[in-house]
Amino acid sequence: DGGITQSPKYLFRKEGQNVTLSCEQNLNHDAMYWYRQDPGQGLRLIYYSQIVNDFQKGDIAEGYSVSREKKESFPLTVTSAQKNPTAFYLCASTIPGGAYGYTFGSGTRLTVV
């Protein structure tokens, strides 16, 4: 079955550490996105990529980095520069002009301890 897989589901990070969240899709979608969800804030766009080897900053890119070396993969690194990284992170993908919007992964809950 086609879909998006995010791993791990839960992640704990010590302050000052970088962590990488995985996102893999087998839908043959060109565009991939990372969102962050905080209570009462909805979904905020961190980074997006519409094609391999190209990506753009979203609304809250500071403290995050991404890569898009393969069509199927769009990992997100939460760096130590991100001051408030505890959140629920969602990865999504779509075809350009996607008539059905995004397909989302099941999310990663990151907690700083």
Partner 1 sequence: DQQVKQNSPSLSVQEGRISILNCDYTNSMFDYFLWYKKYPAEGPTFLISISSIKDKNEDGRFTVFLNKSAKHLSLHIVPSQPGDSAVYFCAASFAGNQFYFGTGTSLTVIP
Q: d(Cα 31, Cα 52) in Å, to the nearest integer?
A: 9
Question: CB 45 → partner 1: shortest distance, Å?
Answer: 7
Residues lying near partner 1 in the complex (CB under 8 A) = 4, 6, 9, 31, 33, 35, 40-43, 45, 48, 50, 88, 90, 92, 94, 96-107, 109
Q: Which is nearer to partner 1, 16 or 101 (CB)?
A: 101
Q: Which is nearer to partner 1, 33 or 64 (CB)?
A: 33
Q: d(Cα 5, Cα 24) in Å, to the nearest integer?
A: 5
Question: CB 58 → partner 1: shortest distance, Å?
Answer: 8
Q: Which of 94, 108, 97 is closest to 35 using CA atoms?
A: 108
